[in-house]
Amino acid sequence: MKKKPIKNLFNERAEKYDYLVTKEQPLSYTAESFQKVLINLDYANIDGNNKVIQFTSTLASEGKSTFTSNIAYLLGQKGKKVVLIDLDLRKPKLNRVFNVTNRDGLTDYLSGKIEYDKVVRHSEEVGIDFIIAGEKTTAIVNVLEAKKLQELIAKLRENYDYVLLDTPPVIAVSDALYIAKLADGVIFIVAQGVAKKTLVKEAIKTLKNNHVNIIGTVLTQVSLKHGEYGYGYDYSYKYE
C-alpha cells in the first residue's frame, strides 16, 4: 500500500481507502485509538456471541469503511481469522481498500456467475480474507433478502472468528436494517461534525425500534490539538 500522510486520511477520502493507518503508522495516536477500540470489542464478544458484526452510521462520509478495514487488519494481526464483506451495494468501497476491480464479488456469487472459492479472496498484504460487492444491481433488497446470502453468512460464521459487514448508513436507505437480520450485533459509527444530533438520534431510534443489537458506538474523525484524528468507543449512546 502506498504510504500517505496521516493528516489527509479523512480529508481526501475517495483516494485514501487503501491506506490503513494501523498498518502504516502503528505507533501513531490514531493507531493506538484503534487498539483501544479493539480491546472493547473483545469485551463485547467475550462469550463469542458477536461473531458477525455489522458496521453502519447515520450518513455517508463518517469514516465507516476506513474504520472497519483498520479493525479487520488489527484482528488479523492478533491471529484471528477474519473475513470482511462489502454489503454497501449502492456505493461499494472495499475494492478500493484492496486495490482490485469491483468484479467477481458478492452479487456475482449470489447470481451464480462465480463459485464460493472465487468470491472469497485473501490479501497477503493485509492478512485477511475479503469479499467485494461485485456487479451493481438495482434489486438491492432482493439481494439482501436472498436465502443464498443467509447461507453464505452461515458458512462464513463456521469458518471464521469474525465476519465483518461494511454496510450503508441508516438514514439514506433501508439496507442496513435488512442486513442487521444477518448480524449478531451492530457497531454504530458517529463522525464528529458530520451528522446533526437529531439525525443521529433518529438513526439510533430506528435501529432500536427494529430490535437491532447495538453493541457499541464509535466516535470518529475527532480532531485533536496536535493534528491527528482519534477514535472513541463506548457501550452507551452519548446523545440520549
The domain locations on the chain are 50-234
Is 50 exceeded by the pLDDT of residue 32? yes
State how far the Cα of 204 lies from the Cα of 51, in Å rounded to an integer.
21
Task: Tell me which CATH code domain 50-234 carries.
Answer: 3.40.50.300
Can you tell me which residue has the cell 462469550?
Answer: 47
State how far the Cα of 188 lies from the Cα of 217, in Å rounded to an integer.
5
pLDDT digit string, tens, across residues 68-82: 999 999 999 999 999
Q: Is 175 helix (H, G, I), strand (E, B) or coil?
A: helix
Kindly state the average pLDDT of the residues 21-33: 88
Q: Is 208 helix (H, G, I), strand (E, B) or coil?
A: helix
pLDDT on residue 12: 34
Q: Cα Rg for the chain, rounded, in angstroms?
A: 17
pLDDT digit string, tens, across residues 156-173: 999 999 999 999 999 988
Do the beta carbons of residue 140 and residue 134 sit within 8 Å? no
The cell numbers describing 117, all together, are 472459492
pLDDT on residue 16: 67
Give 11's pLDDT tier (boundaries 50, 70, 90): very low
Question: 11-25, 134-148, 184-198: which has the minimum mean pLDDT?
Answer: 11-25
Is 50 exceeded by the pLDDT of residue 13? no
pLDDT on residue 40: 86
**Mean pLDDT, all residues of the chain:** 86
pLDDT on residue 3: 35
Strand locations in 27-96 (E):
52-57, 82-86
Considering Cα of 55, then 59, then 65, then 67, what sign does the dihedral take?
A: negative
Is 90 exceeded by the pLDDT of residue 116? yes
Kindly state the average pLDDT of the residues 99-113: 96
State how far the Cα of 78 lies from the Cα of 27, in Å rounded to an integer.
16
pLDDT on residue 130: 98
Q: Of 163, 201, 203, whose CA–CA distance to 184 is shortest?
A: 163
Q: Which amino acid is at 15?
A: E
Do the beta carbons of residue 54 and residue 167 sit within 8 Å? yes
Region of 239 on the Ramachandran plot (φ > 0 left; ψ -120 to 50 alpha; else beta):
alpha
pLDDT digit string, tens, across residues 221-238: 766 554 444 555 443 333
